[in-house]
Amino acid sequence: MINAKNANYLQIDHKVKSIFSLPGVIILPSPKAWTDFKWTRPFFAKKPKEGYFIWVKKQISFPLATCLAIASPKVFQDMNNLMVIEKGIRAKANVVCQAVKNNLSCSHSARGKLVLKEGAGLEYDHFHQWGQKDSVSPDYEFILKKGSHLVYNYKNLLPAKNVSLKTTIYAGKNSSANLNFIFQGKGASKIDIYDALHLEGEGSQGIVKLRLVGKDKSKIRAKSLILAKSLSKGHLDCQGLLVDKGAEISLMPELTCLNKKAQLTHEASIGKISEEELNYLRMRGLKEKEAIDLIVSGFLKQ
């Protein structure tokens, strides 16, 4: 993912290992961006101690890539990230946050703001992979200016012991957001998900899709909000699949309409693996675990 053909930022524990900028993109540690570009300061609550700043100033033909990794025991990362996509520019970002070992008992806190200026577009693929003793709390805001377009894909199949994921979208006039969350609870993980799509501008629209799988003794609690303040359209699709008896999934979809011309819809369901489907796959030679894995894989791709 990180190579000489893309602009990238690599941090392990608290040390920046690599920054590679290409024409049209400025990449800096957030503390340096705070010092060098005073206009960035309102996007941070205070001067950041660590994190990255990415400013896409011109159209690029290569992907952006960031990797935030923890390799040492009991490290606490406190990331403050800012990405700005200038007017009319289309970009793609591959973002990885992970623990390189399963037993580090580490913590990862990330507060990020991503600004898409007028007519900009961003496809943002966000991958998390953690150990069973870790704690993770990402909190990201996306600010969509007039006519901008966001595709946000979040995937976490190896969750931390404690996860608190918060995602907030502010959609301006004629902007659009397509959000996809894939989560698999495992072990005794406790996962809290909160996502909110604010349709603030006339003609804004968005789709939020959640696919949540509960395994072992994991507990997943997901609250999703679409708030329409103007003539806009939004759809919320929440689906949960319970694999094991000890797992729990709680879905709380919420639609709030402040404009009588807005159109908001939602669908939500929680189910279990069908015995009929399981038996069908067994008859074709699959072992029970293989059959379950195949069903789960298909569910997450819906």
- pLDDT tens digit sequence for 52-76: 999 999 999 999 999 999 999 999 9
pLDDT of residue 295: 87
pLDDT of residue 77: 98
Separation of alpha carbons 53 and 186, rounded Å = 33
Q: Report if residue 261 sits inside a domain.
A: yes
pLDDT of residue 274: 83
- The parent domain of residue 139 ranges over 7-274
Q: Report if residue 291 sits inside a domain.
A: no
pLDDT of residue 239: 96
Q: Report if residue 179 sits inside a domain.
A: yes
pLDDT of residue 301: 85
Q: Report if residue 101 sits inside a domain.
A: yes
pLDDT of residue 126: 98
Cα-Cα-Cα-Cα dihedral of 157, 160, 166, 167, to 10°?
-30
Q: Is the dihedral of CA 149, 262, 200, 51 positive or negative?
A: negative
The string of DSSP codes covering 22-43 is: -TTEEEEEHHHHHHH-GGGGGG
Q: Report if residue 293 sits inside a domain.
A: no
200-250: pLDDT as tens digits: 999 999 999 999 999 999 999 999 999 999 999 999 999 999 999 999 999
The first and second tokens of residue 292, run together, are 């379950």
pLDDT of residue 3: 54
pLDDT of residue 273: 87
Q: Report if residue 192 sits inside a domain.
A: yes
pLDDT of residue 5: 67
Q: Report if residue 128 sits inside a domain.
A: yes
Q: Helix (H, G, I), strand (E, B), or coil: what is residue 294?
A: helix
Separation of alpha carbons 143 and 116, rounded Å = 6
pLDDT of residue 283: 85
- Domains in the chain: how many in total? 1
pLDDT of residue 44: 95
Helix axes 288-300, 275-283, angle to 10 degrees: 120
Q: Where are the beta strands (DSSP E) in the chain?
A: 7-12, 15-20, 25-29, 52-56, 64-70, 76-85, 90-99, 107-116, 121-129, 135-144, 149-158, 162-171, 176-185, 190-199, 205-214, 219-228, 233-242, 248-257, 263-272
Cβ neighbours of 175 (radius 10 Å): 29
Whether the Cβ atoms of residue 179 and residue 206 lie closer than 8 Å to each other: yes
CA–CA distance from 198 to each of 149, 155, 231 (Å)?
A: 14, 22, 12
Q: Report if residue 287 sits inside a domain.
A: no
pLDDT of residue 288: 85
CA–CA distance from 144 to each of 22, 62, 197 (Å)?
A: 25, 22, 11
Separation of alpha carbons 149 and 234, rounded Å = 14
pLDDT of residue 81: 98
Amino acid identity at 53: F
Counting as low any pLDDT under 70, the low residues of the chain are 1-5
Separation of alpha carbons 30 and 44, rounded Å = 9
